[in-house]
Structure 1
């Protein structure tokens, strides 16, 4: 049970996150769930519905109790860190609006966890993956569709959601694609010739009329293609190739970034192509180490070396 005032505050904060920060629908849903669970816990923990006054008086002990309770529900350190981040963000906003000191909440330490670095495929494995998709379906247009999607992930560094959000209006693909990424951020992505050719081949073979204002990639019955189908066909292909479970659609995007960097690409340019807000995210994506970063820095700023 959450007090009406707390529920209204949460709704207003979520609307602010969506309007001012462009948070995606999935992010908003996660925030609502995480902060809502926190507020419900505090009601049970303190034995009374938590109005805004009670929420402003939450102590370090209360926070420890919530962390312990959440961990006890088989929630891993990474998920707990995400939940705590949402609660802190809500409290930062609430304390400014209501004029109280949120130190007990903001000072709560996030649990430590080992960040999993993405595992890009080798250039040969990425190429084998794309070629093997041709044999995963007995229906030629579906095989061409799957190849086209995965070629866009690897050749242009798109997220699967971005590839599947392309519409018939994007046909025929030009030299550059305008992509709306996470948080509504727009970026321009160069399109390599194999990606243009793969999409053109799919469009030629597709038995349905691809609507100008509808999805470019269609399912077997003519509706929008589900990302799960691409995940599934890649599972089949990686089993045939003996590739690890980490060879996922997202790994193709990682591979795009890593192979560009290894070929001498500039880290900041790759950051822009991927649509990352921070360089550290791109660094993790490519698995680039600090020594390599310093090499890039020294080349860009030779006077910095001495």
Structure 2
């Protein structure tokens, strides 16, 4: 099926989302990470659209959604969660599975832990929920959280073209590098280079520290509600390491954990494998 592209107003802001599949079928909401947008799901939307209804929004400040200035909008993960939930309510989506990646994890897991009856299953691709997932990549970000001024110059390097490309290419086996399209990091960098966007990203970098405060609630949600969970994680991911994937088993012993020979953006090199895992997992999870 074709992918449809929509924009709706949420709290006076344009929220862009991609949609595929029949709305009468089970819904899967796909929440993207940094520094990308719903474009990261472009192939998965097509691969799964025969069997599922898929919704992939762009967070505020990302992709084709609104990008108010950093002093005109509360760029926090709490606020991004509020906007995402309002979008789902506007679309009349009462029950849905969640696909969470990177920034999509603290957003999706806030929704799941606060409204567990709405979430049918969770699919995590480098969607961290445990301290074990943090790698040395985060040292500069946590230093920035403690002292923004002293560490801003180092953190700004994460917003430059070399760093954006690295997010897509690190940990990718040589024989799969040719599968990673240069369009991915080129598009992401074009969005990052818009006037004012780097200030937005710096604010979200700083705010990320408060996601860790939510981890106990996320883990209690796992233990109490036991959502069917599929983990499809790059074992070579140097941003959220594979120990973060394995940690899910502590609270979700029935979680299906697959460590792929991939990096942070596993969909770009292992999209077909992940689609196959989802096709196997979701019918059983939703039965």
User: Normalising by the residue count of structure 2, what TM-score does the alignment of the two structures yield?
Assistant: 0.24
Q: Which structure carries more helix by proportion?
A: 1
Question: Which structure carries more relative contact order (alpha carbon 8 Å, separation 6+)?
Answer: 2
The structure whose Rg is larger is 1
Relative to total residues, which structure has the larger strand share, 1 or 2?
2
Give the TM-score normalised by structure 1.
Answer: 0.23
